[in-house]
Amino acid sequence: MAKGKFVFNPETLNFEKIEFSFKRFIYKAFTHIISSGVTAVVLMFVYLSIFPSPTEKKLREENKELKYNYEVINGKMDQFENILKDIQDRDDNIYRMIFEAEPIPSSVRKAGFGGVNKYAELEEKGNLELVIETGKQLDIILKQLYIQSKSFDQVIDLAKNKEQMLKSIPAIQPISDKELMRFSSGFGYRIHPIYKTMKFHEGVDLTAKVGTKIYATGDGVIKVAQFGRGYGKLVTIDHGYSYESLYGHMSQILVREGQTVKRGDVIGLVGNTGTSSGPHLHYEVRKNGQPINPINFYLNDLTPEEFDEMIEISSRPTQSFD
């Protein structure tokens, strides 16, 4: 006897028996299995979305640890950048100043940071911003360290040459203090003794008797030893390191062009040649071709009191001798 069930029919108002065939049974079973499977898949998806699998959980922990490590590295590199910046500042403003070398331009320190983007492939993958930023920051530090290393190599060479540099830079009075009658005119605008107009005086005038010895103020090579317009009998010494010294209005020149001299060598005698209103030595110091105040180089010969007095005299608006 086939199994079945009774179902109420509202049209006939009777309970009618429905027979269950094998085909209908298979259909019902298949429908039930499909719906159960779909439900299971949905529940599994929801579960995995809320509760990650052990493998996924492990990967997330590893990613979290890697991100933390990158953040720690970035913090360390920030410290390295600050330390490197301090070294660069010391290099430019202390070490190179001591040896009178030009600071390294910012354009050189930061050169080569553009160009080909070697991180383009990583940028396409996404979610690697921290890795890319760390790599770029490390590249910048490495390049700056290379430039700084080269700079220190140069500073070492400058230090090796410092002894010769100190011998060469003008650092004494060109006339012995006991022979010096007076410091007559300083560096700056002064009244010209001949033309009676204000003119920039590019050196200092040191009054002494005709024939007083004039000394080289630093080691160097005689660049000029001849009669020059305005300066009269003139000697110029090339000291190297961008320094030159000039000695004008001599009565006699005792050196020749191309001759090597040492600090303290006699190079001529005080006179009154050229455009001059009295016996004196006109003395100049030039750096990179520009005149600078010679009294800044007299401290080797003077006491602090004498140096202060010379500073005070040099600032007076007096008339020069040339």
268 shares a domain with 227:
yes
Is the per-residue pLDDT at 278 higher than 90? no
What integer pLDDT is reported at residue 257 of this predicted model?
96
223 shares a domain with 93:
no
320 domain-assigned: no
More confident residue, 183 or 213: 213
24 shares a domain with 156:
no
pLDDT band at 95; cut points 50, 70, 90: confident
Q: Structure tokens of 306?
A: 């004498």
Over residues 133-153, the pLDDT tens digits come to: 777 778 888 888 888 888 888
266 shares a domain with 303:
yes
70 shares a domain with 26:
no
Tell which of 133, 160, 187 closes a domain. 160
Tell which of 129, 160, 191 closes a domain. 160
- Nearest CA-CA partner of 264 in 182, 168, 196: 168
What integer pLDDT is reported at residue 119 of this predicted model?
62
What integer pLDDT is reported at residue 221 of this predicted model?
97
Tell which of 160, 188, 216 closes a domain. 160
In angstroms, the CA 314 to CA 295 distance is: 8
What integer pLDDT is reported at residue 260 of this predicted model?
96
319 domain-assigned: no
194 domain-assigned: yes
Q: Which amino acid appears at position 211 of this protein?
A: G
Is the per-residue pLDDT at 19 higher than 80? no
For residue 257, the enclosing domain spans 170-314
Q: Structure tokens of 167?
A: 């011998």
The least confident of 104-108, 128-132, 155-159 is 128-132
Over residues 154-191, the pLDDT tens digits come to: 888 777 777 788 889 898 889 887 766 555 666 555 65
256 shares a domain with 183:
yes
308 shares a domain with 176:
yes
Give yes or no for a contact between 207 and 279, defined as CB atoms under 8 angstroms apart: yes
207 domain-assigned: yes
Give yes or no for a contact between 268 and 253, defined as CB atoms under 8 angstroms apart: yes
What integer pLDDT is reported at residue 1 of this predicted model?
44
Domains contained in the chain, number: 3
175 shares a domain with 309:
yes
What integer pLDDT is reported at residue 60 of this predicted model?
75
Give yes or no for a contact between 170 and 297, defined as CB atoms under 8 angstroms apart: yes
- Nearest CA-CA partner of 215 in 238, 186, 245: 245
Average confidence (pLDDT) over 293-317:
60
47 domain-assigned: no
Cβ count within 10 A of residue 221: 14
Which CATH number is 248's domain given?
2.70.70.10
310 shares a domain with 178:
yes
Question: What does pTM read for this prediction?
Answer: 0.49
pLDDT band at 84; cut points 50, 70, 90: confident
Average confidence (pLDDT) over 194-217:
80
Give the SS3 label for residue 26: helix
Alpha helices in 51-173 (DSSP H): 54-90, 96-98, 106-109, 120-125, 129-160, 162-168
124 domain-assigned: yes
184 shares a domain with 270:
yes
129 shares a domain with 74:
yes
Is the per-residue pLDDT at 9 higher than 90? no
Over residues 222-252, the pLDDT tens digits come to: 999 999 888 899 999 999 988 999 999 999 9
22 domain-assigned: yes
143 domain-assigned: yes
3-state SS, 7-18, equals EEECCCCEEEEE
67 shares a domain with 27:
no
What integer pLDDT is reported at residue 197 of this predicted model?
58
